[in-house]
Amino acid sequence: MSYVLTTCGFCSCGCAMYVQQENGKVTGLFPSENHPVSNGRLCIKGWNATPAILGADRLRKPLVRRGEHLEATSWDDAINYAASALKKIIFESGPKSIGIIGSAKTTNEECYSLVKFARSVIGTPNIDGACRFYDASLIPALLETTGTPGSQVELSAIPKAGSILIVGSNVMEQLAHVGSRIEDAADNGCKVVAIDPRETRLAPHTSLWLHPKPGSDLAWIRAFLKIIIAERLYTKNAPEMPGFEELRASLEGIEISQLKYSCWLEPAEVHKAVELIASNPPTIVMFGLGALQQPHSTEIVKGLANIAILLGGSVMTLRGQNNAQGACDVGLTNDLLPGYLKLADPVARKVWELVWNCQLPAEPGMTAVEMLKACESGTLKALLIFGENVALSAPNTQATLSALDKVGFLAVSDLYLTETAKIADVVFPACSFLEKDGTFTNIERRLQRVRKVLEPIGESKSDLEIIAMLGAAFGAKMSADPEKVMTEISSSAPIYKGQSFRQLDEEWGQPWVPVGSEAKLAPIEAVTKDSEGEYPFYLIASRINFHQQTGTMTAKSSVLAREYPETFAEMNEADAERLGIRPGSSIRIISETNSLTRVLSVSESVPKGCVHVPHFFGGNSPNALASYETDPVSGVPIYKAYAVKIEAVR
C-alpha cells in the first residue's frame, strides 16, 4: 500500500489529493488537508476521479486503420505509419498543410513539447490548443487590459472580498472550490452580484441577480462602465490611467433606458448592481464560459476587466479545464510563444528560435476552428489531435465530423476510443494523469506537481513519450523526461522562472508572478446584433456537476453516469404551455446548422424566451447546434446565446 500526492485532473481549481495504490490498483483517494485549494475537501468529480479515468475500455494498444477497421498494432508500427504519412504530406504539400491541436488537460510539459514539435520539427505554424474551443478569448483581452492573462488573485482572496461580480458561470457545479469560497464571502457580508440569464445554485448566496438577454453582455457591460465613469464611482487614480479618455469616448451615446429592450434589464436594477460593487471594495470580477463563448467575447472580457480596473479590484477567470492556464502559459496557441510573448515580436522570436533551433514565422497559424474549416476545404492534409474529443467539443458536429473524415490523415492520442478517435487513421493510447509525472497550472496560476501513481494501463504512454517518439522518427531529439522539459521551459519563459520539480517536491507550488504588467483601460465599442426571426428562442448551454466537458471520462464512472439517466432540456413553464408541450415529452431543438432531441422539463430558473440545454456525454451535446461563426478577435466559437426553435417530437 502506498499513497501518492498528485493534482486532480478535472476542473481548473487544482485540488491536491492522495491516491492510495495496492498491487497496481487504486484502493482509495482523499484530499490533502493542508493544501491551499483542497483544504480537506473534494468535489464529486474529485471523489470519483479514479473510476472515471480507469474505465475498462481504456485503449491498451496503438491502432492503425487498415481499410474500414482500426487494428491493434505495435508502437513502432504506429509511429512509423504516422511519420511516413506526415513525411509524404510535407514532401507533397509542405509543412503548413499539417495542423496540430493540443489539449488543456495534459501537463505543461506535454503542451510545451507539442508546441516545440509543431514549430521546430514539423515546421508548421498551425498549432493551437483546445482552449480555443472554450476560453481563449480571455488571453488577448487580458493582455491588453490587466496585463495578466489569468486570475489576478488567489482563491484565498475570495472570502475577504467586499463584493463579487460573477458573470456567466455555473460555479457551484463546475468549480466547487470557488463556489464554496464565494459562499464564505457572502457569509462574511460580501455583496455577490450574479449576472446570468439562468438562475443557478449560486442564488442563495447572492445579493442581486440580473437576468440579461442571452448574448447581450456587451451592452450591459458598457452601461456599467458608463455609470461608473459618469457617477465617478471609480478609484481616485482611475482618470490618470492609460486609456481612460479613450474608454470614456467609446461609451458616448449609451442610453441606459434602452437596456430594457437590448438586455431585458431594468435601468434601476443596473444602477443598483453598479452601486453594490462600487461601494463595497475590494471587488473581484469573475467570469466563466457564459461570457467567454458569446459573440464578441474578447470585447466582453475587456469590458469586465475595465470594470475591475476602474474599481481598483481584480479579475478572476473561471476556466473549465484543469490545465487551461498552463496550456496557454507554455504557448499552446496559434499566435503566442511560451510566456505570452507575441509571435509578431522579433526579439521574442529570436529567443525561441535559439532554444528550438528553427526559424519562426511572424504570422500566426490557423486557430483550431480554422483548421477544421481547412480540413474540409482541403488546405490541411493532416491533423494531429492530442487529448481532445474534437468531434464533440468543436461546434457544428455534423460539419466537424465531415471535416475530420475528409482530412487526408488524422492521428489522435487519447485515453479512450472517443468519437474523434473512431474516425482516425492512427490512434495512440495515451495514459492518464494517474500514470505520469508532470505539472498542471491551476486557476490561480499555481504550478503544481502531477505524480505517477500507477504504471500505464496496457501499452499506453504519456503524450510526452509519444511526442518524443514522433520527434525521433523525424530525426529530432526531444526529451521524454518531464523534469528536463520543465527545466527547459523555466529557463526560457520568464513567467516560469525558477520553477522546478525539486522545489515542488519541498512545498506547494506558488502562483507565477506576472512580468512587468501595467493595467490599461481599453475602449469598448458598441456592436449591433441581428434579431431572431424564424428562431425565437435563445439557447443557454451549461454544464452539470456530474460531468466534465464532453464526458469522455466522467461517463465511465458508474456513480457519475447514473445521476442523470435521461438527457433533458429546461424551459419556462409559460413557454412550454404556449408551445403546447408537456414536461416529460420529447422536444427537438433546431438551430440553423443542426438539431438535437431532449426530454423537456420545466423550470422557473430559466427565463422566458430561452431554452436551457446542459451538456451530457456520448454525442448529445449542445455544441452540435452551433456554427463555425467565431469571435472575430480570438476565434473562439459562439456556443452561447444562439437562436433556436423548438418543436414537439410527435
Partner 1 sequence: MKKDYSILKKSDVPAFFASLANEMQLIGPKQLFSGDVTFDVIQSHKDIYWDYGHVVYPPKRFLLPHFEDMFRYTCDQEIKIEPTCNPQPQAIVGIRSCDVAAIRFQENFFSYPIVDPYYKEHLNNTVLFNLVCNTPPKKECFCICCDSGPWLESGFDVQLTDLGDRFLYEVGSDKGEKATEPRAYMLLPATPADIEARRQIELQADSRFQTVSYVAKAINFISADEVPAKIWEDLGSTCFRCGACTNLCPVCTCFTVDDREESDGTFTRCRSWDSCQYAGFTREASGHNPRPTFGSRVARRFYHKTSYQYIIRDGRHGCVGCGRCITACLTKLGLPDVVKRIRREMHEFLPPKEKAAEV
Residues lying near partner 1 in the complex (CB under 8 A) are found at 1, 3, 5, 18, 20, 25-35, 40-44, 46-47, 50-51, 56-57, 60, 172, 176-177, 179-180, 183, 187, 201, 203-205, 458, 507-508, 545, 558-559, 562-565
Give me the least distance between CB of 558 and partner 1, in Å please: 5
Which residues in 484-521 are b (16+ Cβ under 10 Å) and which e?
Answer: ebbbbbbebbbbbeebbbeebeeebbbbbebeebebbb
In the bound state with partner 1, the residue whose beta carbon lies nearer, of 40 and 346, is: 40
Give me the least distance between CB of 502 and partner 1, in Å please: 14
The strand pair at 2-7 and 16-22 is best described as: antiparallel
Q: Determine contact, residues 473/83, Cβ cutoff 8 Å.
A: yes
Give me the least distance between CB of 15 and partner 1, in Å please: 11
In the bound state with partner 1, the residue whose beta carbon lies nearer, of 203 and 362, is: 203
Give me the least distance between CB of 44 and partner 1, in Å please: 5
C-alpha pair distances (Å), 192 with each of 155, 158, 184, 314, 444? 16, 11, 11, 15, 20
Give me the least distance between CB of 129 and partner 1, in Å please: 29
Give me the least distance between CB of 33 and partner 1, in Å please: 5
Q: How far apart are CA 26 and CA 39, in angstroms?
A: 22
Give me the least distance between CB of 546 and partner 1, in Å please: 8
Q: How far apart are CA 130 and CA 182, in angstroms?
A: 28
- Which burial class, exposed, middle or buried, applies to 246 when counting CB atoms under 10 A from its CB (0-12, 13-18, 19+)? middle
In the bound state with partner 1, the residue whose beta carbon lies nearer, of 55 and 147, is: 55
Phi, psi of 104 (to 5 degrees): -95, 10
* H helix count then E strand count, the chain: 23, 25
Give me the least distance between CB of 42 and partner 1, in Å please: 6
The strand pair at 336-337 and 341-342 is best described as: antiparallel
In the bound state with partner 1, the residue whose beta carbon lies nearer, of 48 and 550, is: 48
In the bound state with partner 1, the residue whose beta carbon lies nearer, of 184 and 647, is: 184
| Beta bridge partner(s), residue 178 | none
C-alpha pair distances (Å), 182 with each of 188, 290, 443? 10, 18, 15
In the bound state with partner 1, the residue whose beta carbon lies nearer, of 27 and 597, is: 27
Residue with cell 529570436: 350
In the bound state with partner 1, the residue whose beta carbon lies nearer, of 55 and 514, is: 55
Total Cβ atoms within 10 A of residue 34: 10
In the bound state with partner 1, the residue whose beta carbon lies nearer, of 222 and 612, is: 612
Total Cβ atoms within 10 A of residue 607: 21
In the bound state with partner 1, the residue whose beta carbon lies nearer, of 22 and 525, is: 22
Q: How far apart are CA 139 and CA 302, in angstroms?
A: 10
Give me the least distance between CB of 479 and partner 1, in Å please: 26
Cell numbers at 478, concatenated: 526531444
C-alpha pair distances (Å), 468 with each of 90, 286, 481? 19, 38, 9
In the bound state with partner 1, the residue whose beta carbon lies nearer, of 441 and 448, is: 448
In the bound state with partner 1, the residue whose beta carbon lies nearer, of 38 and 393, is: 38
Q: Determine contact, residues 574/582, Cβ cutoff 8 Å.
A: no
Give me the least distance between CB of 398 and partner 1, in Å please: 31
Give me the least distance between CB of 60 and partner 1, in Å please: 6
